[in-house]
Structure 1
C-alpha cells in the first residue's frame, strides 16, 4: 500500500486517533469487557470536542479501534486512519508500552511532518498523551520521555491517579469531567495550531515499533503438542489440522490461521520475542538440564494424548512441575467431536497432567461446570497472556533465588 490517505482535497479528517492497549478479560467467562471503559472515555472526548468546535453533523470526530481482529482489512483501516488523523492520543499504561501494535501506531503517525501555524515556546508534535494509569514508577521509552507535556494541567488528581481511577471511583467524578474537558481542549488546540499533511497508507504489519526494542532476555518459547494431518486417529476430523503440528487451528471458523500465531501475537504485544516450535523440537530442551533458559508456554491438543508413542514426553514434563513452563489446553466447545468425546478427553488429560491438576493449575478453557460458556479465541488470548506472566514470574523468581558463585579469586579456599 502506498496511496495518500485522503480521497480528495476536502476529505474529512478526524480530530484524533485514540491509541490504547487492549486489556484482556479478568477470567475466561462471564467477565465484562474491560475495554468498555476506554470506549466511554472515547465517547466523552467526542462529545466534548463537538461542543468546542463547529464540526458539522456526520463529520468524523475521532477514531478508536474497537476490534482485536488481525488481518489485512483490519491493518489497512488502522493505517488509513493514522495517515489521516490530525492528533495522536496515546493512552499511557504499562501495557501500552509493551504493545508492539501500539508502537507501530506511534511510528506511523510520527512519520508525518508537523508544521506549526505560529511560533510558540512549545514545540508541537501532534501527540497529546493521556494517563490511563499513573506512570511514575514505570520507565518511559525514549520517544515518550522526549515529549514536553505537563499532565498536571489536567488536574492534580488526574496526574496522581489516571483516568481509569477517576472513572471508576465515584468521589472523582467531577475530576474526571474536568480532565476530559481539558484533554478535549488540548486536542482541538493542537489540531488548530498545527498543519499535519495526510500521510501515506503503508503496510501496518511491516512497520517497526517506535518503542525501545525489548531486552534480549525478554523471550518466550511457545511449543505446540498436536498432530499433523497424516497422524490423526481414525475418529478425528482433519479440519483442525495441517501439514505441521504447529498448524493446529482449534478455533475455526473464528480464526483461519494456526493458534500458535495468535499465541505469538499475544506474547509479542506484551513486549516479548516469541518463538514457535513443535513440542518434539523443544522436548529435549524442556526435559533436560536444571531449568529452561526462557519461560515457555505449551499449547496442548488433548486429542494428541491418544498417541501413546509421544505422550510420555508430556507426562515427564508434567512430573518435572516447572513453574517456568505454563501448560494450556485450548479447546473449542463448538467442536462437536470434542463435545461427543468430552469424558474420554478429560480422562486422558487427567492421566497425563496429573501434577498440574493436583496443583490446581486448571488448564484454560476446560469447562468442568455444567452450562458454562464455550471456549473462544478471545478467551484463549486472555488466558495466553496470563500464562505468559505466570511462566515469566516463575522464571524470574528462580533466577533471583538461585545462589551465585563468587568469582574465582574470591572463592574461599578449601583445606589447609
Structure 2
C-alpha cells in the first residue's frame, strides 16, 4: 500500500520511523489528494478545484490543531544540542571552521556552535542577518556535519601544524584584510607548508581590486600568494573560492562544495587505525612452557611422546 504524504505519495517502507508513527487520515482532504498528493494536484490542471479544496481543508486543520494544543512554559534548548527527530543518518561527520578575520572584529560566544566557551570573531562581510560564523555553522549542519567554529587567533600554531585542532576536514574562512597583518600572514604560510590535504581555505566577501592599490596604501596580498597549496586545491573545486565569494547566496553555494571536497580528501588520505589482530595461538599447557618441556622429557622416557 501507498501512504499519501502532503507533497507526494510515499511507500510505508520509505517513511522515517518518526513520520511512520504518526496517524492521520489523508482521505479527509479528498480522494484526488490522497492518490496524487499536492504535487499531483498542482501539476494536473483538471484537478485545480481539488487542489484549492485540499489547501482549504489543510488550513482548517492547522488552525484546529493550534487551537486545541496547549504547550506548557519551558526553556528553549540550544538547537545544536537536540538530537535529530529522524535518527542518525550514519557515521557522524565533523567539520572545523576557522575564522581568520581582521584585528578589532567583535567577538561572540561560541557555546551554541559546538566550540565550547571560546569566542569567535563577529565578522559579517555580507551584512547578513547573522555573522559569518553562524551562517557557516548553519550550512554545515544542513550537510549533516557536526561543526566546530574556532578563531584563528585562539588556535595555537602547535595545534594547527600538528593537526591537534584540525584533526579532520577543515575550512579556513579568510578576511582579505587579515592578510595585512604580518603575523597572520606568517602563520598562514607556515600552516600552508605543512597542512594535510583535507584542510582548505576560502575568501568570503569581495576581494580588493588591483586598481585600488598604491604605494602609500597597498592592499592586502592575494591569498594564493600567502597560502598557495590550500588555495590551489580549493580553486580546483570553485574558482571564486580564493578570489572572493561576493554574496551570501554565492557563499551558500560554494561553502558546501568545499566542505564535501575536504571531507572526501580526509576519507581518502587520512591514516587508518585498524584494530589489533587476533592474539597468538594459545599454549595447550596451562602451566607454561617449562612444565611442558618437562612433561615431554618424561613422555620420551616412557616412549609415549608423539611428534
Q: Per the shorter chain, which TM-score range?
A: 0.5 to 0.7
Residue 366 (structure 1) aligned to one of 243, 247, 265: 243
Partner of 1:388: 259
Gaps of 5+ in 2: 109-118, 282-307
Which residue number in structure 2 is paired with residue 223 of structure 1? 98
The 3 A distance-change label for structure 1 pair 384 and 403 is same
Equivalenced residue count is: 254
Q: Is the 8 A contact 2:189 2:226 kept in 1?
A: yes
Q: Which moved more, 1:356-365 or 1:261-270?
A: 356-365
Equivalent residue number for residue 378 of structure 1: 249
Matched residue, 2:21? 146
Alignment of 1:15-414 (within 5 A): 129-131=5-7, 140=16, 142-148=17-23, 163=39, 173-174=43-44, 180=51, 184=55, 187=58, 190=61, 196-197=67-68, 199=70, 208=82, 211-212=85-86, 217-229=92-104, 241-242=105-106, 246-251=120-125, 253-255=127-129, 258-280=131-153, 281=155, 283-289=157-163, 292-320=166-194, 322-332=196-206, 340-341=212-213, 347-359=221-233, 360-361=235-236, 362-364=239-241, 366=243, 375-398=246-269, 402=272, 404=274, 406-409=276-279
State the shift of 1:223 in Å: 0.9
| CA distance in 1 between partners of 2:59 and 2:197 (Å) | 50
Q: Using structure 1 for the length normalisation, give the TM-score.
A: 0.45
How large is the RMSD of aligned CA atoms in angstroms? 5.0
Q: Deviations over 1:125-182 (max 9, x none)?
A: xxx9534797999773x422322469997689968xx94xx79xxxx94289589568
SS of corresponding position for 2:68? coil
**Higher RCO structure, 1 or 2 (CA under 8 Å, sep 6+):** 1
Q: Structure 1 residues 183 and 253, CA, compared in 2 at 3 Å: closer, same or farther? A: same
Query: What's the counterpart of residue 46 of structure 1?
Result: none
**Could you say if the C-alpha distance between residues 285 and 291 of structure 1 is closer, same or farther in structure 2, counting changes exceeding 3 Å?**
closer
Cα 1:228/1:158, change in 2 over 3 Å: farther
| Bigger radius of gyration among the two | 2
TM-score normalised by L of structure 2: 0.58
| Aligned-partner Cα distance in 1 for 2:106–2:206 | 17
Secondary structure of the structure 1 residue equivalent to 2:102:
coil
What are the superposed Cα offsets for residues 257-292 of structure 1, whole Å, 9 maximum, x if unpaired? 532122222223444332221124165334225994
